[in-house]
Structure 1
Amino acid sequence: MPDLPDREEREADEAPETEAQRRRRRAQFLRELAEARELRDRVQPRRAKTARLRHAMRMRTFRW
């Protein structure tokens, strides 16, 4: 039995992606990325604290 492409793949083949679709897909990706970061921070609090301190130090030493 051949693999049939799902609906999104068929639509993508028919027409190029619009700007609104791209933004919607990007927003969804960024939401999932933020959710994954929050989960990682809850699971590894010491590493998260170290990352926050490191980020704060980078921001303090950044020259405009």
Structure 2
Amino acid sequence: MADGDLRDNPAAREGRGGRNGRDAEGMAGATGEVDDAQESDAARRRRRAQFLRELHEAKQLRDRVQPRRARAARMRQQMRMRTFRW
């Protein structure tokens, strides 16, 4: 579902938990869908891991394609680490 659909359809927005987390907790407890909540949490972690893998891959690709920018970024990072105080 696109973000525009959520803006146009308030019912779709309510299905995502409403405005606060208490509504979502009450709905999950009342219907006995705790297993679904745990599965969605696991699915969220899988999506996050996939996103982070793709992000890392994209950064590596950018470093290979733009070596000058990558070298400058490494130098800036080294300077930050040198000037960091414990």
TM-score by length of 2: 0.52
Q: Verify: 1:25 aligned to 2:47, yes or no.
A: yes
CA offset digits 1:20-64 (Å, max 9, x no partner): 111111110110001100110111001100101101111121122
Q: Verify: 1:61 aligned to 2:83, yes or no.
A: yes
Instruction: Give the Cα–Cα distance (whole angstroms) in 1 for the partners of residues 84 and 42 of structure 2.
Output: 34
Q: Larger helix proportion, structure 1 or 2? A: 2
Q: Which residue of 2 aligns with 1:40?
A: 62
Instruction: Give the Cα–Cα distance (whole angstroms) in 2 for the partners of residues 36 and 28 of structure 1.
Output: 12
CA RMSD in angstroms, aligned pairs only: 2.2
Letter aligned with residue 61 of structure 2: L
Greater CA radius of gyration, 1 or 2? 2
Instruction: Give the Cα–Cα distance (whole angstroms) in 1 for the partners of residues 40 and 85 of structure 2.
Output: 38
Q: Which runs of 5+ in 2 are unaligned?
A: 2-14, 17-35
Q: Which runs of 5+ in 1 are unaligned?
A: 6-11
Q: How many residues matched?
A: 53
TM-superposed CA distance for 1:19, in Å, is 2.1
Structure with the bigger RCO (C-alpha within 8 Å, sep 6+) is: 1
